[in-house]
Every structure is written in C-alpha cells, then in structure tokens.
Amino acid sequence: MKTFTLPTVLTIAGSDASGGAGIQADLKTMLANGIYGMSAITALTAQNTTGVAAIARTAPDFLAAQLDSVFTDIFPDAIKTGMVFDYELIDIIVQKLKHYQAKNIVVDPVMVATSGARLLNEDAISALKEKLFPLATVITPNLLEAEALTGRKIASHAEMITAAQKLYETYGCSVLCKGGHNLQDADDLLYTSAGPLWLKGEHIDNPNTHGTGCTLSSAIASQLAKGAPLDTAVQQAKAYITGALKANLNLGHGAGPLHHGWNM
C-alpha cells in the first residue's frame, strides 16, 4: 500500500466557538491549502459573530504539554501564533520554540477581536515584542496593531512604510503591515531585508470579515511549510483570502466568517 506525507503546520492560538476565527479558522485554512494542521490551544473563547462573551485561559503547564506532544511526534514545518493572551503563556511558547528549534514562525499579534474585545493582556505586550517577535520569520499586524506596537498614527502608505521599517529594525523580523482596516484599499506592505514591497490587493465590499487575520497568517504559514519564499507565500495567501471573501458567505447576525473552503 502506498503512503504519502503532507507538509505540517502548528497553530498556537485560541479557540473560537463559532468557528470563524482562532484555531478553527486556522485548521480550515491549512486544509484548504493542502496542509496537515495541528493545534495547541492557549484559551477557550465563548464567541460568535457578534462578540466575545467569555474567555477561559489554558494553564501554562497544559499548554507546554500540548506543545511537547506535537513537537516530539509530528514536527511542524511551520508555526503560526495567534491569541497568546498573557505573559506566562508567551513565556512557555518562546521556551518551546527555542528548545525545538522551530522554523518558519508566523506571528499574528492578535490584540483585539473584530468585535472589539481585548484578546491580549496589557502585561503581555512587552513579552510579545521582546520575546516572541525576535523568533518570528514574519509578523502580520493590521494597522491598529501596528499603531499600538509603534506608538505612531498610520493614515497613509508612507506612514505604513515608516511603521513597518521601525518594527523590522527593532525586532529583526520581516513585517507584513496589512492595510485593509483603515485605508480604502487592500494593499499590504511586506518589509524585509530587501526593503519595502507593496502587494496590491483588490478591495472587496464584504462586511463579513470575522477571522481574516487568523486566516491570512495561517495561509502564509501553509505556503512557507511548502517551501515557498516569504514574498511568494504572502502573495499566495492574499490570493486565497481574496477568494474566501469573494465567496460572500453570509452566516450569523454580526460580522460573519469567511468561506475557508471556497477553493475545494
């Protein structure tokens, strides 16, 4: 009997009960991109398209056990981190990524949900920046997150470049600054050792954007796991999420989820 393998990606993130964001969105995205997905859960959330009702944090020792279980059996070709929640959990994640010499690390600096709920404790922001960012291949802040991380207002393409350059020079990782939240286009800026690269995108008039950040970062990790260079991985991930938005899935009473399986 013939056997085969798949590239593997581990998502370290929170769970979304409604399935539109978090590990549920990550795993759907990975499957749609031809990847075997695995997960280590940092928190459970009771949420839906209208908001987050409750959050239950995972115990640090249990998160550590989840990570050990994955790394010692099916070693991931890439890692995606999402909702890391607090200082203690970030410390565990950093320890394990260093111990196992993880590669292709995509950090989505999740701070606030689409609904406005805080998903990162204040004490965790310094740990995110000082401990996790330096391990990343790329970080993927949206404009609001980039403003919070740099302390700068971003209202133009020029200010996106300034912010991304500051993050790159401070933390030594590539930066994908996503422009879709505040500016009236879908142009993203990838800042690497080669400098700024604009990635033009089609603006799609779709209010259902729950989980777009989770989906994009997971798609990038999926392409990196396949061996794509970073710029190609980001371009392919953008094409995937554009298709997921164009599918115009309409579920729930608030900002609905994407159609992660539009290409299957």
Query: What is the DSSP track for 196-230?
Result: EEEE-------S--BTHHHHHHHHHHHHHHTT--H
Query: 23-37, 148-162, 177-191: which range is least confident on average?
Result: 177-191
Average pLDDT over residues 17-37: 97
Confidence of residue 254 (pLDDT cuts 50, 70, 90): very high
222: tokens are: 């999926």
pLDDT in tens, 185-204: 778 999 999 999 999 888 88
- List 14, 22, 201, 213, catalytic entry: 213
178 is a catalytic site residue? yes
Q: Is the pLDDT of residue 117 over 70?
A: no
Three-point CA angle 120, 243, 231, nearest 5°: 70
- Domain locations in the chain as residue ranges: 8-246
Measured between alpha carbons, how far is 171 from 128 in angstroms, rounded to an integer? 11
213 is a catalytic site residue? yes
CA distances (Å), origin 68, targets 8, 10, 97, 207, 222: 16, 12, 10, 39, 21
214 is a catalytic site residue? yes
Q: Whose CA is closest to 23, among 39, 2, 46?
A: 39
- List 58, 212, 226, 256, catalytic entry: 212
Question: Residue 88: its pLDDT value, please?
Answer: 96
- List 29, 140, 150, 209, catalytic entry: 209
Question: Residue 186: its pLDDT value, please?
Answer: 78
> 65 or 1: which carries more pLDDT confidence?
65
212 is a catalytic site residue? yes
- List 14, 37, 82, 211, catalytic entry: 211
**Residue at token pair 């740099």:** 150
- Dihedral over Cα of 240, 241, 243, 247: its sign: positive
Confidence of residue 3 (pLDDT cuts 50, 70, 90): very high
Q: Is the pLDDT of residue 89 over 70?
A: yes
Q: Is the pLDDT of residue 181 over 70?
A: no
Q: Is the pLDDT of residue 114 over 70?
A: no
CATH topology of domain 8-246: UDP-N-acetylmuramoyl-L-alanine:D-glutamate ligase (3.40.1190)
- Amino acid type, 80: K
Confidence of residue 113 (pLDDT cuts 50, 70, 90): low
pTM, two decimal places: 0.95
Measured between alpha carbons, how far is 239 from 253 in angstroms, rounded to an integer? 27
Q: Whose CA is closest to 225, among 39, 80, 84, 25?
A: 80
The number of angstroms, rounded, from the C-alpha of 159 to the middle of its chain's C-alpha atoms is 22
